[in-house]
Amino acid sequence: MKTIPSLCVRFTACALTTLTLAIAPFQNTFAQKTNAWPTHSLTMIVPGAAGGTTDIPTRLVAQKLSVRLGQSIVVENKPGTGGILGVQALLKNPADGYTLLVGNTGSNAVNYRAYKNNTYKPADFIALSDLISFANVLVVNSDSPVKNVADLVARLKNEPSKLTYPSAGIGQLTHLMPEMFKVQTQTDALHIPYKGSVPATMSVLSGETAFMFDNLTQALPQIQAGKLRALAVTSAERVASLPNVPTMRESGYPDFVVTGWLGFFIRSHTPPDIVKKIQENLIAVLNDPEIKSKFIEMGGIPGGSPQPAFSKFVSAEVTRWSDLIERTKLSLD
């Protein structure tokens, strides 16, 4: 009777040894792939037009990251549909770390609630690190008779539903801020969506549209050149690059504090070792003094938060915008 347990032990040991030997090649292959990553070029998907607010800082980081990783990085522009086209492009690729999305407030916070038929969810992504954040600025053409926020509100009340405003796309922050503004001022205006921040800003410069809540990084050169007039910034405090421009709070709207942000995302289920490697290299680049200096010159706040901190921030943004959309009954479908 004592021989049966002995045989069982020997059989179990042999089975475990066989299983270990069978698994070992797969473990070694996985380790080799992880350690070798990256073995070919990467792609950064920008859900906006070339030359826009998202595109410019992305290309600056891509150049530095390419040198660190020893691989080329292709920046691929996918503008339109509030960032959804860019997100879908990411999700069509494998979860192997070779494709990154430069997400923003619209694509990775607003769209979950604003689009009832949205096809993606927060769990589809791993938030890696923030790229840049920035105040937004309410602008008009420099030839406009509007000199301040009060003037704009008065004109909107005198010409209900006649003035137009552009956005970088439906559901983008440049669309939602005017929606907030209309609610808080009890006015109305017509929305004209464009495919990206560049054509949207150009519409104000050309006089096609009357006003815009533009990204500061996009509008600042035009403001400094005297082509756009800044009425107010949406940050809690005045910004150093526009010290004479009041905040929306100072202009009579204490609850109008909005900061835009951009950040790097990859697909969920990307191997943890690859996630760590990407995140460490991104943070190293984002903390590069030259990158920081250029972002500040653009009127932005440099990113580079650790992955857990950025992930927590994005979750809070999802909640914030979901609550706002629910209150305003906004639907983008």
Top-confidence residue, 19 or 120: 120
Structural domain that includes position 46: 42-133+260-328
- Mean predicted confidence (pLDDT) in 279-283: 96
Please give the Cα distance from 149 to 158 (Å, whole number).
14
Are 153 and 127 in a shared domain?
no
Residue 158 lies in a domain: yes
Whether residues 98 and 66 share a domain: the answer is yes
Q: Is 34's pLDDT higher than 50?
A: yes
Give φ, ψ of 72 to 5 degrees.
Answer: -70, 155
Average pLDDT over residues 45-72: 94
Distance CA 77, CA 54 (A): 10
Q: What is the CATH number of the domain that holds 312?
A: 3.40.190.150
Closest CA to 45 of 110, 108, 134: 108
Within this chain, do residues 119 and 149 fall inside the same structural domain, yes or no? Answer: no
In percent, how much of the chain has pLDDT > 70? Answer: 89
| pLDDT attached to residue 4 | 46
Average pLDDT over residues 263-289: 97
Of 198, 233, 268, the last residue of a domain is 233
pLDDT for the residue 11: 46
- The pLDDT, as a whole number, for residue 68 is 97
Final residue of a structural domain among 233, 249, 271: 233
Count the alpha carbons within 13 Å of 39 in the hemisphere toward its beta carbon. Answer: 6
pLDDT at residue 23 above 60?
no
Residue 7 has pLDDT above 50, yes or no: no
Q: How far is CA 83 from CA 50, 212, 255, 294, in A?
A: 14, 19, 26, 25
CA distances from 282 to 68, 131, 304, 320 (A): 9, 9, 7, 27
Average pLDDT value for the chain: 89
Q: Could you tell me if 291 and 317 lie in one domain?
A: yes
Using the 3D structure, point to which of 233, 251, 282 is the last residue of a domain: 233
Is pLDDT larger for residue 89 or for residue 23?
89
- The answer as to whether 238 is a domain residue is no
Distance CA 105, CA 84 (A): 12
What is the structure's pLDDT at 10? Answer: 52
Chain position carrying tokens 């005045």: 238
More reliable by pLDDT, 201 or 3:
201
- Does 249 have pLDDT greater than 80? yes
- What is the mean pLDDT of the segment spanning 134-158? 97
Same domain, 228 and 274: no
Residue 36, domain member (yes or no): no
Q: What is the mean pLDDT of residues 220-243?
A: 94
* The pair of three-digit structure tokens given for residue 33, joined into one six-digit string: 């792939």
> Would residue 21 count as lying in a domain?
no
Residue 17 pLDDT more than 70?
no
Confidence of residue 25 (pLDDT cuts 50, 70, 90): low
Residues 120 and 145 occupy one common structural domain: no
pLDDT at 133: 92
Binning pLDDT at 50, 70 and 90, where does residue 1 land? very low
For the chain, what is the domain count?
2
CA distances from 269 to 103, 176, 249 (A): 18, 32, 42
State percent of the chain over pLDDT 90.
68
Same domain, 129 and 174: no
